[in-house]
Amino acid sequence: MITIDSLLQETSRTFALSIPFLESPLRERVGVAYLLFRIADTIEDETGVDAASRAALLSQFSEKASDGAALRTLLDDATKVLDGAVKVPGYARLLEHAPLVLSSFESLDSESRETIASHLARTCGGMRDHLESAEAPSGVSALRSYCYAVAGIVGELLTELFVAVAGRLSSARSELLRLAPAFGEGLQLVNILRDEHEDAMANRKYLPCDVSRGEIERMAWADLASAADYVRVLESAGAAPGVIAFNAINLRLAVDTLSLVGERGPGAKLTRAEVAALIDDVRARMTAGRPQSPAVDAALATTAPVVLPGKRVQSGSSSCC
């Protein structure tokens, strides 16, 4: 039987591990939101379909994200346009069962639907712009703009969903929203650095040719340091243990992956045993009522190069491609 949880297991490397730590109804809201954004990612990434057709779909998603009936029609159109082109079985199954995702989205409360739809619209617009450019981002500023569109906005969305279920986080909302884009950007940069060869084989271009790989790695480390601050703010504000664990898992997996990619190069991945040990440690800390931030800080202290707080890396002259 196909369910939201089974679709998450088939389509996510990280979120399928962290979402189960969230309590209902936040778990359902985040799960459905992830799958909607995953559909948009699939449209953007599927180079077996011409960029103009994918850009047109994303443009319509951006305009109609808050219209349930129109969104259902667009999902049908996307499935037809991408039919046979999606090679990853989990992504193909997600498109096949997009009506289930939409029905689950429509069953959410109106505030959650509006929040998810507004952020999805902005992300789809950014993806469209990237496809229409037909080139890799040029320079640090363009790379940051792309990462914000596809991941920073997700960080802002998650923050709004966290605050909506926990009034005590309201006082920390502005600080969390300040840090959220860097958290998302950091996770995205880790993915880009890890998947560089895979993306190149699929003719996907994300790394600027006018910025060195080392500089992009330093950008990612600086972002992950901001993500650690995000976790500390959640703890200080009294966020639910599951919310803290969710973010700690996403961050610690990114830290360990970036360290591994720095040592071994693109394509390096954590072993199942390493991932399982990390999840077990997060769960043990949550069960015992211990904070997650010391483990996050320890991981960063062990693996990250020295990064000045708040420093933005400037583009250099060496090329990564």
Query: Domain check: are 178 and 112 in the same one?
Result: no
Query: Domain check: are 54 and 119 in the same one?
Result: yes
Does the pLDDT value for residue 203 go beyond 90?
A: no
Q: Which residues, other chains included, contact 47 with Cβ-Cβ below 8 Å and sequence gap of 6+?
A: 202, 203, 204
Which of 68, 102, 134 is where one domain is finished? Answer: 134
Least Cα distance to 275 among 301, 296, 244, 254 occurs for: 254
Helices (H), the chain: 4-11, 15-18, 26-45, 51-64, 68-81, 89-96, 98-106, 110-133, 139-147, 153-165, 173-194, 196-201, 213-237, 241-264, 272-288, 293-303
CA 292-295-298 angle, to 5 degrees, is: 150
Query: Domain check: are 94 and 159 in the same one?
Result: no
Average pLDDT over residues 118-131: 95
Q: 8-17, 82-91, 102-111 — which is least confidently predicted?
A: 82-91
Identify the pLDDT of residue 315.
33
Q: What is the DSSP letter of 151?
A: I
The rounded radius of gyration (Å) of the Cα atoms in the chain is 19
Residue 40: CATH number of its domain: 1.10.600.10
Identify the pLDDT of residue 320.
37
pLDDT band at 119 (very low <50, low <70, confident <90, very high): very high
Q: Model-level pTM?
A: 0.92
Query: Domain check: are 2 and 119 in the same one?
Result: yes
pLDDT band at 308 (very low <50, low <70, confident <90, very high): very low
Which of 65, 100, 134 is where one domain is finished? Answer: 134
Q: Which tokens go with 314? A: 């400037």
Domain count of the chain? Answer: 2
Residue 309 falls inside a structural domain? yes
Identify the pLDDT of residue 87.
86
Residue 267 falls inside a structural domain? yes
Residue 258 falls inside a structural domain? yes
Select the more confidently predicted residue: 30 or 69: 30
Query: Domain check: are 191 and 53 in the same one?
Result: no
Query: Domain check: are 130 and 171 in the same one?
Result: no
Average pLDDT over residues 232-261: 97
Identify the pLDDT of residue 107.
95
| pLDDT per residue as tens digits for the range 253-289 | 999 999 999 999 999 999 999 999 999 999 999 999 9
Mean pLDDT estimate for the chain: 91
Residue 153 falls inside a structural domain? yes
Does the pLDDT value for residue 310 go beyond 90?
A: no
Which of 134, 154, 170 is where one domain is finished? Answer: 134
Residue 229 falls inside a structural domain? yes
CA 81/CA 19 separation, integer angstroms? 30
Q: Which tokens go with 36? A: 């909607």
Query: Domain check: are 19 and 92 in the same one?
Result: yes
Query: Domain check: are 251 and 290 in the same one?
Result: yes
Does the pLDDT value for residue 312 go beyond 70?
A: no
Query: Domain check: are 109 and 189 in the same one?
Result: no
Does the pLDDT value for residue 311 go beyond 70?
A: no
Residue 321 falls inside a structural domain? no
Residue 5 falls inside a structural domain? yes
Residue 194 Cα to chain centre, angstroms: 14
Query: Domain check: are 114 and 149 in the same one?
Result: no
| pLDDT per residue as tens digits for the range 134-193 | 777 788 999 999 999 999 999 999 999 999 999 999 999 999 999 999 999 999 999 999
pLDDT band at 122 (very low <50, low <70, confident <90, very high): very high
Q: Which domain holds residue 172?
A: 137-316
Query: Domain check: are 118 and 67 in the same one?
Result: yes
Identify the pLDDT of residue 176.
98
pLDDT band at 216 (very low <50, low <70, confident <90, very high): very high
Query: Domain check: are 62 and 169 in the same one?
Result: no
Identify the pLDDT of residue 43.
94
CA 136/CA 143 separation, integer angstroms? 8
Question: Which letter, b or e, does each residue of 105-124 get, where b requires 16 or more Cβ atoms within 10 Å of its Cβ?
Answer: beebeeebbebbbebbbbbb
CA 89/CA 100 separation, integer angstroms? 17
Residue 263 falls inside a structural domain? yes
Average pLDDT over residues 88-93: 93
